[in-house]
Amino acid sequence: MRNLKELSNQDILVSPSLLAADFGRLAEEVKRIADAGADMLHLDVMDGIFVPNISFGIPVIASLRKISGLLFDTHLMIAHPARYAEAFAKAGADHLTFHLESGDPAEEVISAIRAAGCTVGISLKPATPAEAVFPYLDKVDMVLIMTVEPGFGGQKFMQDMMPKVRAVREEIRKRGLTVHVQVDGGIQEGNALLCRDSGSNILVAGTSVFRAPDAAEAIAGLKK
C-alpha cells in the first residue's frame, strides 16, 4: 500500500482526476498520466445519493490497481463511507477521503478507514466553514477543500474558497501538524499559484490534465 504520509506537505503534488479520462481507454489513460509525472491518481466515487451523479466504484478501482502503481487518492462522495471503507481498501485504495457532511459520524468513519489500513482525509463542501474540520485535524492526514460543488467535473473554480484554504492551513501550522491540504474543482495553471499561496499543497486537476494536448506539460505547469 502506498502511503500519503511519506509525501512532504511542503511540496506541490498533482492528483489528476480520473473523472476527466477517456473511460473507453482507462488502463491506457492511467499509464499515460503516470508517465506524465502524476504524484497520485484522484478517484471520484459518487453514489447518486450524496451527490446527484454516479461515477464508478469498487470493481473499477480493483481493475486499475492491477495495472497501476500510483497512489490511489480516493474521494468518497457517498452517503455512508464507514460502511464501505474496508471494501475500498481491499480493492486497492491507498487513501480515503470522506465528506464531513456525509450521513456517518466523522469519528466512526475515521476509525473505519484507519482499521482498513488507509490514510484518512476529510472533505468540505463549499458551504461548510473551515472551523467545522478543526476538531479532526489531529486525527486525519489530509483536508480537501472543494472549490466547486461536488458531483460533476469541468465546473468553474470558486476563488472565494481561498480564505477557507488559508484558515485550514493556518490552523494546521498553529498546531504543528503535518496535514496535507488539497483543493479540487476547476484547478488549472492559471489558478494553481493562488491555491498554493493560500496554503494548498495537493492540486486535483481533471480536465486541465487529462484533456491537455500534453499531460506532462500540464502537470509541470501546475507544479511550476
Q: Is residue 3 part of a domain?
A: no
> Which DSSP category does 36 fall into?
T
Q: For position 115, which CATH number holds?
A: 3.20.20.70
Number of domains into which the chain is organized? 1
DSSP bridge pairs for 71? 40
Q: Is residue 92 part of a domain?
A: yes
Q: Is residue 2 part of a domain?
A: no
Catalytic choice (22, 39, 44, 104): 44
Clarify whether 47 is annotated catalytic. no
Count Cα atoms within 13 angstroms, Cβ side, for 17.
28
**CA 214, CA 145: separation in Å to the nearest integer?**
27
User: How far is CA 15 from each of CA 36, 40, 75, 180, rounded to the nearest angstrom?
Assistant: 12, 5, 11, 13
Count Cα atoms within 13 angstroms, Cβ side, for 137.
21
What does the pLDDT average to over 12-38? 97
pLDDT per residue as tens digits for the range 140-188:
999 999 999 887 766 789 999 999 999 999 999 999 999 999 999 999 9
Rounded to two decimals, the pTM is 0.96
Clarify whether 160 is annotated catalytic. no
Q: Is residue 190 part of a domain?
A: yes
- Per-residue pLDDT at 172: 98
Give the domain extent around 20.
8-223
- Per-residue pLDDT at 156: 85
What does the pLDDT average to over 105-110? 98
Catalytic choice (39, 73, 141, 184): 184
Say which amino acid occupies 197.
D
